[in-house]
Amino acid sequence: MAPALTTDKTGTAARANSGSAVRIDHVHKSFGRPGAAQPVLDDVSLEVRPGEFVCLLGASGCGKSTLLNLVAGLDRPTAGTIEVPGGRPALMFQEHALFPWLTAGRNIELALRLRGVPRAERRPEAERLLELVRLSGAYGKRVHELSGGMRQRVALARALAQDSQVLLMDEPFAALDAITRDVLHHELTRIWSETSLSVLFVTHNVREAVRLAQRVVLLSSRPGRVARQWAVDIPQPRRIEDAAVADLSVEITEELRGEIRRHGRH
C-alpha cells in the first residue's frame, strides 16, 4: 500500500517518499483565442506516487478530462509543467474505442505491434492479457459479440498491452449498469494490486472514487483547482455499499456540493 498521507483544505500533502509517477506543477489551461481565452484549469499542482491509485473528482466541466488529456500528452498546458518520468502513459476512455472489424485479440495485438512486440509473441501476449482481465477464450470474438462490460475489459487489456507504468482512465465505467460496474471495480482493483501500475482515474461518482482509490482529489468548478484531498484508509477489497465507504462518500459529497455552490454551478 502507498505511504500515509495527511491532507488539509488547500490540498497540500505530506508524502512519505519523494518518487513520483506523475508530477503536475502549477498547470494552467485556457481555451479560446488570445484576449478572449476561458480558463479551464488554474494553478493545478498534483503528484501521483509509483503504484498509487488516485481518483480525480469534481462537477461536470471542472477540467478533469482536460487534465487527464494533458497528462496523456494529447494537449499542452497553457502554463506550468507535467512530467511522467516512466514514459508515455496508457489511456482508457469512457467509450471502448475498439476497432469493430478486428477481433478482441487483434485489437490487443495492434497495441502490441505499435509497441514493437515481434509478431510471433503477439498472440500469446494478447491471450495472457485477456486472461488477466478474465476473458479467456474471447480472442476470436468480434466486438458486436461482446457485452458492454466485456468490451471495457478488452479496452483495459489493450491499455495494459502498452506496458506503461501509468494508466489514465477517463470515466471508463460511466455508461455501464450498476452490477457490471461493480464487477469491473473489483477486477480493476485486483489487476492494480497484481501490478506496479500507477492509476489516475477520472470520475464524477463519489462512491466510485472512494470504492477504488487510495487518494481522492477534489477539483473545484471551472476553473479547476485542487480544492481538497482525502486519503482513503479503508482496506481493500472494498464494496460500494460498505459503511466506511458510505461515510466517507457523504463527507466528500458535502464538500463537492459546497464547491458547486461557491462557484455558482448547478
In contact, 211 and 238? CB cutoff 8 Å: yes
Q: To 10 degrees, what angle do helices 148-160 and 119-132 make?
A: 130
Please state whether 61 falls in left (phi above 0), alpha (psi between -120 and 50) or beta: left
Three-state SS sequence of the chain: CCCCCEECCCCCEECCCCCCCEEEEEEEEEECCCCCCEEEEEEEEEEECCCCEEEEECCCCCCHHHHHHHHHCCCCCCEEEEECCCCCCEEECCCCCCCCCCEHHHHHHHHHHHHCCCHHHHHHHHHHHHHHCCCCCCCCCEHHHCCHHHHHHHHHHHHHCCCCCEEEEECCCCCCCHHHHHHHHHHHHHHHHHCCCEEEEEECCHHHHHHHCCEEEEECCCCECEEEEEECCCCCCCCCCCHHHHHHHHHHHHHHHHHHHHCCCC
Joined together, the cell numbers standing for residue 121 give 509473441
Residue 7 has pLDDT above 50, yes or no: no
Average pLDDT over residues 251-263: 87
In contact, 230 and 237? CB cutoff 8 Å: no
pLDDT of residue 165: 93
pLDDT of residue 238: 92
Residue 137 has pLDDT above 50, yes or no: yes
pLDDT of residue 1: 34
In contact, 223 and 260? CB cutoff 8 Å: no
**Order of strands across the sheet that contains 22-31:** 38-48, 22-31, 79-83
pLDDT in tens, 33-82: 777 788 999 999 999 999 999 999 988 888 999 999 999 999 999 999 99
Residue 3: cis peptide before it, omega within 30 degrees of 0: no
Residue 13 has pLDDT above 60, yes or no: no
Domain assignments of the chain as residue spans, ordered by start:
98-163
Q: Read off the pLDDT band of 264 (50, 70, 90).
A: low
Q: Is 266 exposed, middle or buried (0-12, 13-18, 19+ CB in 10 A)?
A: exposed
pLDDT of residue 266: 43
Q: Read off the pLDDT band of 213 (50, 70, 90).
A: very high
Residue 4 has pLDDT above 80, yes or no: no
Joined together, the cell numbers standing for residue 189 give 482493483
pLDDT of residue 51: 96
In contact, 118 and 196? CB cutoff 8 Å: no
pLDDT of residue 235: 93
Q: Read off the pLDDT band of 17 (50, 70, 90).
A: very low
pLDDT of residue 94: 79
What's the one-letter identity of residue 43? D
Residue 12 has pLDDT above 50, yes or no: no
